[in-house]
Chain A
Amino acid sequence: NAGVMQNPRHLVRRRGQEARLRCSPMKGHSHVYWYRQLPEEGLKFMVYLQKENIIDESGMPKERFSAEFPKEGPSILRIQQVVRGDSAAYFCATKRAGESGYTFGSGTRLTVV
């Protein structure tokens, strides 16, 4: 079991481009959480998904950001028309239904130039 896989590890985008971040959960994990972390700050919750459903998106900006967790394949966090303020580390955490253990990926570091 390779753990929670996030890719790419580093992503550079010009302002106005789209960024797609991927998170592949551990085997058997059906809950996915996305967090954003600015330098020298804590992780801020963005969105919580289960297979094919968005459960809580209270931390997601209303525009340009979207997330999905399809029946097959990884969870995707999509940022359209990126701006410099989107530069951050984006982490996903996954867990099994009914259990407490969250496992984090190594994150994707997005830099908008």
Chain B
Amino acid sequence: GESVGLHLPTLSVQEGDNSIINCAYSNSASDYFIWYKQESGKGPQFIIDIRSNMDKRQGQRVTVLLNKTVKHLSLQIAATQPGDSAVYFCAEKEGNEKLTFGTGTRLTIIP
């Protein structure tokens, strides 16, 4: 079946550096993508989203890039802080609006 996957299961970044988390998706019909942050014991928290008619979207310290040609999504976090340590998931919306999640990347910020 179709799935959303991530290239790197874990990522360690020095505090203050930038981080990039990648995601590959296989459903070319997906038209909406979301990045979520999940801290231990909590539910997914919305970070940023992007529609398929865009290739880049910026938020506060975060940027999402979408490359539809290679079906690739990335999340860039600038000037990482200890509070950025969490598991990050990409998700795609398909059909009747249900979300399909990737397996996640654990980001650890090293002080």
Contacts and interface: CB of A to CB of B under 8 A. Distances in A.
Interface of A: 4, 6, 31, 33, 35, 40-45, 48, 55-56, 59, 91, 93, 95, 100-107
Interface string B77-108: 00000000000010101001111111110000
Given A33-B98, A56-B98, A102 B46 contact: yes
Nearest to B51: A100
Chain A contact residues: helix, strand, loop or mixed:
strand
Interface-centre pick from A48, A104, A105 (highest chain B CB count, 10 A): A104
Contacts of A101: 46
Q: Is the interface of B mostly helix, strand, loop or mixed?
A: strand
Given A48-B97, A104-B44, 16 more contacts: A31-B97, A33-B99, A41-B103, A42-B103, A43-B44, A43-B89, A48-B98, A59-B98, A91-B43, A93-B99, A100-B32, A100-B93, A102-B46, A102-B99, A104-B36, A106-B43
Contact count band on B: 20 to 34
A46 to B, nearest CB: 9
Given A42-B89, A100-B32, A55 B96 contact: yes
A12 to B, nearest CB: 16
25 contacts: A6-B43, A33-B98, A40-B104, A42-B101, A42-B104, A43-B44, A43-B89, A43-B99, A44-B101, A55-B96, A56-B98, A59-B98, A91-B43, A91-B44, A100-B32, A100-B49, A100-B93, A101-B46, A102-B46, A102-B99, A104-B36, A104-B45, A106-B42, A106-B43, A107-B43
